[in-house]
Structure 1
Amino acid sequence: MTDAATVEHAIESRRAIRAFLPDPVDPALVRRLLELAACSPSGTNMQPWRVRVLGPQARARLEQGLIAALDSPDLPIEEEYRYYPQTFREPYLSRRRKVGWDLYSLLGVVRGDHEGMKRQTQANLRFFGAPVALMVTIDRDLEIGSWLDLGMFVQTFLIAAQAHGLDSCPQAIFARFHPVVRRELAIPESEVVVCGIALGKADPDAPANRLVPEREPVEGFTSWLD
């Protein structure tokens, strides 16, 4: 393929993967993906991203703490930052509902199946079984522009991974459990827990990985001004 076709394929084939094979990933490749992601643009070259790649002990400790928190009625779970609006309106409400129920339909989870939903949350907190787990943070005193920069960093990482034959899933759920993440990974209060990233090879037989979210056509979000 041409360079342009390779880039386009990586962009179009990337999806959020929710079940991974246990196949290991070369740590040198993970480092290379981070080097590529660091080429992302940032205002005045601030490079506001921070990443922790979790080793086996740190990951086991984190996952154990997260599952315990999920089952504990005593631990208040509050978002580290507001990802979604307080009140959804159209067209965002319909899009959110559709992708959610499309996923649960593939998983065989019906409305009101709280145990099924809990199992999926547990899988999420375990990085969907991916062999590589990363945690992304940003300094708390930075502003919206730096968050935009961080988003471009994460996207560049995901696309670079896809180009290298790896699948991924950015995971905002960890922001809800930030007290546990902070405690188990020794993340200071001066950093915001933004998201995790699961990285590895997709399990081709997992029903969840058949989900292909619909995308709006260009005409739906673009105005061409004379």
Structure 2
Amino acid sequence: MNANKRPAVADPISVETAIQTRFSARAFLPKPVPRETIERLLELASRAPSGTNTQPWNVYVLQGASRDELVRKVCAAHDAMYANPALAAEYREEYDYYPEKWVSPYIDRRRENGWSLYGLLGIAKGEKDKMHAQHQRNFRFFDAPVGMMFTLDRIMGRGSLADYGMFLQNLMLAARAHGLHTCPQAAWNGFAKIILPHVGAGEHEMLVCGMSLGYLDEKAPVNSFHTPREPVSGFTRWLE
């Protein structure tokens, strides 16, 4: 289509609503998501920009038995690591999602996020079993019927992770337009040695993150948890 003939956004409020209502859902209904809907979401996501149009994303969609078997495998590894922390050395992320050393204001936001969520769920500081169980909800896709794994060819540079972020955001906003919710999850990254063979990824692929996709469980208290955002004035400098 000629760029000059592309229509303007006729309903900007809907675009804003999709952005404003996107959040990391942590409880989903078992209601299945039609394959054609997932395909449409991925088609829309693929309109994300990428450096020289490299389109570096690879997506693996897990449903049914494949999803359930991956849940079983990773939850078993997660439980084993909890029982024997020395096993953590076997499960390393391939890239540093978080910094090695935390500093303010990032550590403050992280702590606020964690304790606000645990507080809502009635998990007190030091209740390690409950924390472990809640963390494991990640590896059950928060009961969502659709799990996704995203990989990147290791030959690509760090800029492709920026491209990937735009692809993932497109996917999450498209999901909102179709009445669905998501939860992007870096929690899976440490279990790449289990996940990549399970989905049939090649040796050249690196796990970027996972994602839960489905219909929101509106009755679940955990879904009332929405994280705060810094005001524009807090992260913007105007230069004239």
> What interval of TM-score do these two structures reach, taking the shorter chain for normalisation?
over 0.9
Counterpart of 2:143 in structure 1 is 129
Paired residues for 1:130-209 under 5 Å: 130-209=144-223
1:35 to 30, 38, 43: 43
Once the two structures are TM-superposed, the CA of residue 155 in structure 1 deviates from its matched residue by: 0.4
Once the two structures are TM-superposed, the CA of residue 67 in structure 1 deviates from its matched residue by: 1.0
Name the SS for the 1:119 alignment partner.
helix
2:123 to 88, 95, 109: 109
2-side partners of 1:208 and 1:81: how far apart? 29
2-side partners of 1:210 and 1:118: how far apart? 21
Name the SS for the 1:95 alignment partner.
helix
TM-score by length of 2: 0.91
Counterpart of 2:58 in structure 1 is 50
Deviations 1:134-171, CA, capped at 9 Å, x for gaps: 11111111111111111100000000101111011001
Name the SS for the 2:132 alignment partner.
helix
Aligned length: 226
Matched, 1:219 2:233: yes
Counterpart of 2:72 in structure 1 is 64
Gaps of 5+ in 2: 1-8
Matched, 1:210 2:224: yes
Deviations 1:8-65, CA, capped at 9 Å, x for gaps: 0000010000000111111101000000000011111100000001132221221111
1-side partners of 2:135 and 2:104: how far apart? 26
The RMSD of aligned alpha carbons is 1.3
1:9 to 13, 17, 23: 17
2-side partners of 1:123 and 1:47: how far apart? 31
2-side partners of 1:31 and 1:203: how far apart? 23
Deviations 1:172-221, CA, capped at 9 Å, x for gaps: 01111111112322222211111111111111121211111110000000
Name the SS for the 2:59 alignment partner.
strand
Gaps of 5+ in 1: none
**Does the Cα contact within 8 Å between 1:65 and 1:184 map onto a contact in 2?**
no
Once the two structures are TM-superposed, the CA of residue 2 in structure 1 deviates from its matched residue by: 5.0
1-side partners of 2:94 and 2:201: how far apart? 13
**Does the Cα contact within 8 Å between 2:67 and 2:146 map onto a contact in 1?**
no
2-side partners of 1:143 and 1:42: how far apart? 12
1-side partners of 2:202 and 2:124: how far apart? 39
**Does the Cα contact within 8 Å between 1:170 and 1:195 map onto a contact in 2?**
yes
2-side partners of 1:3 and 1:95: how far apart? 34
Once the two structures are TM-superposed, the CA of residue 120 in structure 1 deviates from its matched residue by: 1.0
**Of the two, which has the highest radius of gyration?**
2
Mean CA deviation greater in 200-209 or 44-53: 200-209
TM-score by length of 1: 0.96
Name the SS for the 2:131 alignment partner.
helix
